[in-house]
Amino acid sequence: MRIWFLRIILVLQVLGLVGLYAYYAYNEQAGKTCLLKVEPVDPRDLLSGDYVSLRYTISALPDALPDVGTDSGEVVFVALRPAGSVWEIGEVDQTPPTGDLPYLKGRAYGRWIQYGMERYYVPEGKGKNIPGDLQAEIVIQPGGIAQLRKLYSDGKPWPK
């Protein structure tokens, strides 16, 4: 009796892992890929290891746009527009935009917006020499949820 119970638990765990992998693989295939300009901030956490804390250029509202949120972390939607090889802020609103241009869902804190992809973990020892010209490749899923795929420096994947 107990062996069947353990087998069922094992099969459910494996199905859960396969389902999680399939979910992220589908989102990477179905989502829209965009390139964003980023500025590295902090490269080390004693408990988590090496990571790069990223500040996107789309995290700060341009002076031409009014404040959209309070300090409480209001949900906002940021429409993106192409600016050469990268994307930048088009409009910011509290409702999802309509149209074909991609948009991101974030939380506004005054003139700053967080998207939930501000950390990128790197192999141990690779987070010390961070180039200043980083670009982030993200995949935008339906609903404006973004997933950070890779970082690039001088058009090459970083870290090597």
pLDDT over 80 at 98, yes or no: yes
* Residue 122 near residue 51, CB atoms below 8 Å: yes
pLDDT over 70 at 25, yes or no: yes
pLDDT over 60 at 92, yes or no: yes
Burial 109-131 (b: 16+ CB within 10 A, else e): beeebebebbebebeeeebeebe
Mean pLDDT, the chain, rounded, equals 83
Ramachandran class of 102: left when φ > 0, alpha when ψ lies in -120 to 50, beta otherwise: beta
pLDDT (0 to 100) of residue 124 = 75
> How much is the pTM?
0.75
Domain ranges of the chain: 1-30, 32-158
- The string of pLDDT tens digits covering residues 43-78 is 555 566 677 788 898 988 877 666 665 667 888 899
